[in-house]
Amino acid sequence: MINDPAGAAQRHSAHARVLLVADWTVDPHDVVAEACRQHSRRWNTAFGVLVPAWLHGLDWAGDPHGSVPCARRQLVAIQELAAAAGLPVESAAVGDPEPVTAIYDATRDWPADEVLIFARARHFALRPLDLEHRARRSSGLPVRRVATAASGGQARRSWARRPSGHCVTNPALV
């Protein structure tokens, strides 16, 4: 007799849907590398990619759409790297500047089973108020933060950030 608690074998054979939420300031290679690790664990994993148009620091006081070109650039970079790695990306979008709202919206449009957040570490994140916990409460899904490197400074390609904090804008992506 095989012990199958609550249909575990059926869940493992089902199509898993993982939403990758990437800050536009992180290295897109880190995002795709983690997606590859997830895919190698569960071959029938499909991915959604969300890049919130995150407004960092004093950007909140300026143009509320100022980070959209940066988010678009990051989304294109992740999609290109994922395609090169053979990862199935079913959904890709630039989201709201507030990441929890972006995650909520994305999971309504593309129902996910799990959320992986790729964002810069916060030095003073209070546990019930940090992004991971707020996203978990909002979406009702398992949420995990993945450690990443910022793309600024030692960026590998053209998605490098300018000293002002925003990416180098490519007019073709705006």
In this predicted structure, the answer to whether residue 153 has a pLDDT above a threshold of 50 is no
- The span from the CA of 24 to the CA of 120, in Å, is 10
In this predicted structure, the answer to whether residue 66 has a pLDDT above a threshold of 70 is yes
Which domains are assigned to the chain?
Answer: 5-173 (3.40.50.620)
pLDDT at residue 24 in the model:
92
CA within 13 Å, CB half, 19? 31
In this predicted structure, the answer to whether residue 6 has a pLDDT above a threshold of 60 is no
CB-CB contact of 43 with 86 (8 Å): no
Query: Which contiguous run of DSSP H or E holds residue 104?
Result: helix 99-109
- The span from the CA of 29 to the CA of 77, in Å, is 9
- The span from the CA of 36 to the CA of 166, in Å, is 28
Give me the percent of the chain exceeding a pLDDT of 90. Answer: 54
The predicted model gives 47-66 an average pLDDT of 78
Residue of 17 and 5 predicted with greater confidence? 17
Long-range pairs of 6-13 with CB within 8 A, sequence gap ≥ 24: 12/42, 13/44
Residue of 66 and 14 predicted with greater confidence? 66
Tokens of 96: 């709201």
In this predicted structure, the answer to whether residue 21 has a pLDDT above a threshold of 50 is yes
pTM: 0.77
